[in-house]
Structure 1
């Protein structure tokens, strides 16, 4: 068997947008056997898992903890440890599943399933799948984000009929300790996928348990070192994207809290209400003209003629909001609200329709400057009321150097996933990294609590503090803690950090 290897240093770790900086005893970059060979993927994955087991053993012997990280995009400290941090960006091996790998009781078709290591960037996932006539069943996310980061923090994308990136996962390849039996291939018992023989070939022990799966799926590194995922895909299609300005008060509240796409059709006649894949509303809270920007993405047939977005389109459909606010990140704080207003008026114009593949639609830089964000998930029916609530927060809003965005996702089965409601409206609040933005985020958490609006949050963004932050996850919090205890046993302290302890999850 070929060997995996590591490089190592000690020093200061800083995330991509410079919102987190900490001193780390060991900063390790992990590599699979090199050079990559298509004929040795499974044994190379196994060799890499052996290296991870050794690292876990070293951490356990030293009485420390560890975390894996990929793109370094998390704005919270959820993916950090002061003892050992392992960079997974080189773990990009991929493997298409063949017929002989499938369990006889599986409801999945082998040709839809692909194994990806955790460090594979999402654009590479999309490109690899597009080359095989497939794509992910949800829609775009950050360009520089790894699959491991997107799944484990519950990155939502926007697909009200499907869910998040994590909801496409049918198996989790996770390492929970230093022993050979600690390398697990985790599936739901109710949705088996591959055979015991395949798990053996990858050097893992097959475990089928719904609660363990639903715990490990969105666990932000707290349930072990996730080596990779088995992902279910759909046939490749194109996306038709259009953005239009809608005036508040003309039936918009109804659309916000019902997703009545027939009503949306009256504002954007080019939209086919039966094929809408996702919809996003962007609000400039410092704009008094009573408008919102609505971007609609429809799935269309692959043979639909391509209409690419012009290269000079500054902020195109598919551009993430964190990148938008980062464009004014170097502006003086007192000038930021006006700068954002000017930017949106100049660049966030009505555009489209454009028609292209998912890769082309979501191709963009991720973060252009010093930006931060929080995201809260609320029940669909509260959307309009919460938008009005945010507009009336007062002084914190006046000093808020950011914008609002609203998108929608279907409920997840992951115990600590953001989408805890049948349809979850995700309120995204990206802003320039400054005191005014942090104060506004805190004011939002307080306002939602005071208004008795149930809300969840994104694990990779700024989060509310204290165990009470998880109150609206209900019994799922305790189910997560119980299953994590079963999954890790005494090894669970190896995957604790300040975030899990502060939220009461380190039990």
Structure 2
């Protein structure tokens, strides 16, 4: 049987040391390796998690599952009981007999992963089968449940964020046998009801509930299993080049690579038009007029005779900003004044060598594990240049802020609370070194509040990355970002969960952003769905 070690810990922290946060108990669950059948072993873990939920109810405490602790916000934190899922990393291929009779999916591209498996482990598993994820973040340490729950993205302009490849979710919403649900879209069913029976789940097919559960913020129960659609393995050719501001922003506001002034000779068609890349990212020093740096990546057919890219990736400067800024700060001995002075000069080094590799190789391990701050605003690309100018202006007039900016571009997600919600979202990010409170230096929250006020005053619609720093207590922040979408999300959460379990899966973060509310009255069109789910609860 699966086993859980319970330990009183007092405090808990994130991977980036943005806490500590008060926590009573850490739960560490291990699957039973003696159970040979992967489905039986998985079901045994489901039973164990439900027992933990029963214990939580008996103690009248709250509960939250977490994986790699990657989020910088307190979204993964729980004051009472925290379940570490990193050892729950089962994986299996979907078979043709598992498919729903009306599905349009191909079984060779569908895979079932347990909640605690990391993006790195998934990439390695898929590569052995000639497959790849469609997209990932800048690194690979997140667990699959954590990545989709907070909307982890990269800069794949036509592929979307990680949650956009999800076709099914197994949710544990309570301690009873009927509280295990396999959820997928009604409009595009993927797996046969018999598959859900094999994993001791009952089927719920509903598009709106599925969209709400995709980016669930940990509030829709424990995501225990995820069905992902992969694709044939491919290579990525990565270039890092200096690019002047005008050319960079021409692309940032249009993504028209065919007619852009900036072109790579290696990626230009015979008629002179530029090829469309897989990935486009900009690095920006806000304190100088030096050129931007672009990381631009093109998708290529897979072949086996390419050089091992990992050694080059490991020493690449322009891999991810948090790693770079922490190394930059170390060279300044961690002194905030020294960092600010250094940023006032040209800081971007010689660009990296061209590299070719798979998705899992190009977006390799992150070595940074020191204190850092990071905030990501989502903006429609038509407002990208205006937003950047306002942001830089505030960094100079309200700061200085010890950080570097970047811009990434991501296709819209259908998830109800995806922060990549614009037709193409420009993710305007700042990554930097945290600083202690000082009477002559603005706090991070106060600075980001000024950014929000400026965007609102200039009619720039925006969202914020759920897993990063932000002034989350800003008045009506989520309503400002999502309009009625957050109300729909709360309706769906209230449809899925009982009031008691909704409270169990709530935490300080949800309360701060006013998403912990439970709806005792829901729209008429949802009554039948709630009754069906509630009836099956017991």
Deviates most, 133-142 or 260-269: 260-269
CA deviation string 1:236-262 (max 9, x = no partner): 00000001001123x333211001112
CA contact (8 A) 1:415 1:476 kept: yes
Shift of 1:116: 0.7
SS at 1:393 equivalent: helix
SS at 1:78 equivalent: coil
Aligned match of 2:453? 446
Shift of 1:281: 0.4
Q: Which residue, out of 246, 250, 253, partners 2:249?
A: 253
SS at 2:101 equivalent: coil
User: Structure 1 regions of 5+ residues with no counterpart?
Assistant: none
SS at 2:496 equivalent: helix
Aligned match of 1:99? 96
SS at 2:414 equivalent: coil
Cα gap change, 1:122 to 1:318, in 2 (>3 Å): farther
Aligned match of 1:242? 239
SS at 1:266 equivalent: coil
Structure-1 separation of matches of 2:306 and 2:357: 5
Cα gap change, 1:310 to 1:359, in 2 (>3 Å): closer
Aligned match of 1:461? 468
Structure-2 separation of matches of 1:208 and 1:310: 42
CA contact (8 A) 1:275 1:300 kept: no
Deviates most, 292-301 or 336-345: 336-345
CA contact (8 A) 1:239 1:355 kept: yes
Shift of 1:457: 1.1
SS at 2:148 equivalent: helix
Structure-2 separation of matches of 1:35 and 1:329: 47
* 1:271 and 2:272 correspond: no
Structure-1 separation of matches of 2:314 and 2:198: 48
* 1:117 and 2:118 correspond: no
Q: How does 1:96-495 map to 2 (within 5 A)?
A: 96-249=93-246, 251-264=247-260, 266-272=262-268, 273-289=274-290, 291-303=291-303, 306-309=306-309, 311=311, 316=316, 319-330=319-330, 331-339=334-342, 344-346=347-349, 349-393=350-394, 395=396, 398-435=399-436, 438=444, 439-466=446-473, 468-470=476-478, 471-490=480-499, 491-495=501-505
CA contact (8 A) 2:151 2:161 kept: yes
Shift of 1:152: 0.5
Aligned match of 2:12? 13
Aligned length, in residue pairs: 499
SS at 1:161 equivalent: coil
Structure-2 separation of matches of 1:317 and 1:233: 29
Cα gap change, 1:339 to 1:130, in 2 (>3 Å): farther
Q: Which residue, out of 495, 512, 523, partners 1:502?
A: 512
Structure-2 separation of matches of 1:440 and 1:129: 42
Structure-1 separation of matches of 2:280 and 2:253: 12
CA deviation string 1:53-84 (max 9, x = no partner): 11112212222211111111111111111110
Structure-2 separation of matches of 1:329 and 1:373: 15
Shift of 1:397: 5.6
CA contact (8 A) 2:310 2:361 kept: no
Aligned match of 1:24? 23
Structure-2 separation of matches of 1:28 and 1:192: 34
Aligned match of 2:48? 51
Structure-1 separation of matches of 2:313 and 2:217: 35
Shift of 1:115: 0.5
Shift of 1:174: 0.9
Structure-2 separation of matches of 1:341 and 1:116: 46
Structure-1 separation of matches of 2:223 and 2:305: 40
CA contact (8 A) 1:16 1:72 kept: yes
Structure-1 separation of matches of 2:327 and 2:431: 12
Cα gap change, 1:337 to 1:262, in 2 (>3 Å): farther
SS at 1:388 equivalent: helix
Structure-1 separation of matches of 2:450 and 2:389: 14
CA contact (8 A) 2:317 2:324 kept: no
Structure-1 separation of matches of 2:312 and 2:99: 47
SS at 2:33 equivalent: coil
SS at 1:189 equivalent: coil
CA contact (8 A) 1:400 1:437 kept: no
Shift of 1:265: 6.2
SS at 1:327 equivalent: helix
Shift of 1:367: 2.2
TM-score, normalising length from structure 1?
0.94
Deviates most, 268-277 or 483-492: 268-277
User: Structure 2 regions of 5+ residues with no counterpart?
Assistant: 269-273, 437-441, 518-538
CA contact (8 A) 1:246 1:267 kept: no
Deviates most, 153-162 or 56-65: 56-65
Aligned match of 2:521? none
